[in-house]
Structure 1
Amino acid sequence: MNRTALRLCLAQAESAWKNPELSLKKASVFAECASRDGAAIICFPEQFATGWDPASSSFAEDEGGPVSGMYSDIAAESGIGVLGSFREKDGDGFRNTVVFFDEHGKVLSKYSKIHLFSPAGEDKCFSPGSSPSVFEYKGIRFGIAICYDLRFPELFLRYRKLGAECILVPAAWPCSRLSHWDLFLRTRAVENRYYLGGINTIGRTPVDEYCGGSMVISPSGDVIAGPVKEEGLLYADIDPINSEKLPGPDTLSDRRDDLYKSWMQSS
């Protein structure tokens, strides 16, 4: 099968704090613009509808509730794939969940944040996810991670082993640690030889201050789009990966997983 490039759009946008209706009106405008510009996918920052708050479960809903339903409508109305997140009810608890909708508004993939940001108490309000999520769209195989997940390389290695070609990482990464954001995005991309799109928010909230820095990294670790500071749309063309043409060594076959496992068991 002849696979072609896909145009990816990252929406670096400021949330209307605790106002999903207003935030998602902005998301709808951005999605229409991205669709007109030829993008196949638009991605929004972590908890864009409400603003990221590690101590709040307000507006939590089941899948198909008001927030996720509005994302679905945005996808269908603009004719573009949409990656958006919401606070998902999970039994007696809540999860920080990202959903990908295809251009018809149908759910293709769902991922709940595995590594909760304990320094801000996210682990006290939310329950962690337990598995990666991969999906194929327009001939490209994608994976999803969220913000703090970037600090844990095992998840990104798992995506490599699952054949992912591009990882999408919505985030609320603060200005004070933006240098780490840049470092982790590039490292995770080059060590696993896939594309990585980091979608960060901007603005000041009661939680922290955010300075954007959204970007797309190539499998060779090069920045191919971004970083940007202002609110707006960032585009990059994602090509299907031909591993034989990638620069640098493919370290996957040289890993000593048996040895690493013994180290962990003896520690």
Structure 2
Amino acid sequence: MNGRNVQAAMRDAAARGTRLIHFPEGMLSGYAKNPIQDWAEVDWDVVREELEAVMALAAALKLWVVLGSAHPLTPPHWPHNSMYVISDQGSIVTRYDKRVCSYTEVTRFYTPGHAPTVFEVDGWRFGCVICVEINFPALFMEYDRLGVDALLLSTYPVDRIFLVKARAHAAIHNVWISVSSVTETDHLFRSALIDPRGEVAAEVPGVQGVVVSTLDRSAPELDIALAKARPWRASVADDPRYDTAGLDDPRSTDRTSV
């Protein structure tokens, strides 16, 4: 159980004025199949107690917490692979359940979820994504349509290219992406905040720790991404200038001429 580490990170973050802290995939319960080989190994009463302790501390610190954990279902259903969204009042306001589980997950360990999750903190809209879902652009496009400012991506990665993909999604959709990864994969990359240009804005300084960064829509370096690129890209689908399917010009329809 990582409850003690979660609470220590929360205290560290709160002491530095943080409003929201984001944790990796499976942080509280442990992740299948490493180290969990069978759900019978998990004491769900202890997981619940640790979760309730995190909720109480969130209220005491006035801190929003997004925490990766397995969420048990009614037997014989396998758990969801989830992210709990805990408010600064200490309540679970929503939960994201991983929709695209890996082949191993869906075969042996987890029940997929079926819906996006969007929540707001201090006027900012956040969405949630988990690990292998990085490979499904439709999920990121959906969150774009839902108008999120930032995506919280909890992960237990298996390759270095993962961070490159996250940077690409951030740059394409002009959103911040928080990539929260586990210490076991520090040799691949470290947890980081990616800005709407796709640039790494902040990175955890050590194998284990907390990095604090501020989202700022008015930052000059983000003007093109946020004030120009994102609204223009959103407008293209409805802009009649791009609808040239009925263009009556032989120079356009003849694709073999020079």
Give me the TM-score of the superposition, normalised by structure 1: 0.76
Structure with the larger helix share: 2
Question: How far is 1:33 from its partner?
Answer: 1.1
2:10 is equivalent to residue 28 of structure 1: no
Unaligned runs of 5+ in 1: 1-19, 257-267
In 1: Cα distance, 2:53 partner to 2:69 partner = 11
In 2: Cα distance, 1:41 partner to 1:123 partner = 33
Question: How far is 1:50 from its partner?
Answer: 3.5
In 2: Cα distance, 1:228 partner to 1:56 partner = 34
Question: How far is 1:116 from its partner?
Answer: 0.7
- Residue 225 of structure 1 is matched in structure 2 by 202
- Residue 75 of structure 1 is matched in structure 2 by 58
**RCO comparison, higher one (Cα < 8 Å, 6+):** 1
The question of whether the paired residues in 1 share the 8 Å contact of 2:204 and 2:210 is answered with no
In 2: Cα distance, 1:248 partner to 1:140 partner = 16
The question of whether the paired residues in 2 share the 8 Å contact of 1:82 and 1:101 is answered with yes
- Residue 146 of structure 2 is matched in structure 1 by 162
C-alpha distance after superposition, 1:37-88 (max 9, x if no partner): 01101111111123321443243759x9324323212312322111112221
Between the two proteins, the alignment pairs up a number of residues equal to 226
- Residue 183 of structure 2 is matched in structure 1 by 202
For 2:63, give the aligned amino acid.
I
Question: How far is 1:228 from its partner?
Answer: 4.6
In 2: Cα distance, 1:144 partner to 1:122 partner = 19
**3-state SS of 2:210 partner:** strand
In 1: Cα distance, 2:230 partner to 2:122 partner = 27
For 1:164, give the aligned amino acid.
V
Rg larger in structure = 2
Aligned ranges 1:106-145 → 2 under 5 Å: 106-118=91-103, 120-145=104-129
In 1: Cα distance, 2:119 partner to 2:126 partner = 5
The question of whether the paired residues in 2 share the 8 Å contact of 1:171 and 1:198 is answered with yes
Question: How far is 1:247 from its partner?
Answer: 4.8
TM-align CA RMSD: 2.6
In 1: Cα distance, 2:116 partner to 2:38 partner = 24
Residues 34/128 of structure 1: CA separation in 2 closer, same or farther (3 Å cut): same
The question of whether the paired residues in 2 share the 8 Å contact of 1:201 and 1:212 is answered with no
Residues 141/24 of structure 1: CA separation in 2 closer, same or farther (3 Å cut): same
**3-state SS of 1:245 partner:** helix
Unaligned runs of 5+ in 2: 239-258
Share of identical aligned residues, percent?
21
- Residue 254 of structure 2 is matched in structure 1 by none
Structure with the larger strand share: 1
In 2: Cα distance, 1:122 partner to 1:228 partner = 34
In 1: Cα distance, 2:38 partner to 2:128 partner = 23
Residues 107/85 of structure 1: CA separation in 2 closer, same or farther (3 Å cut): same
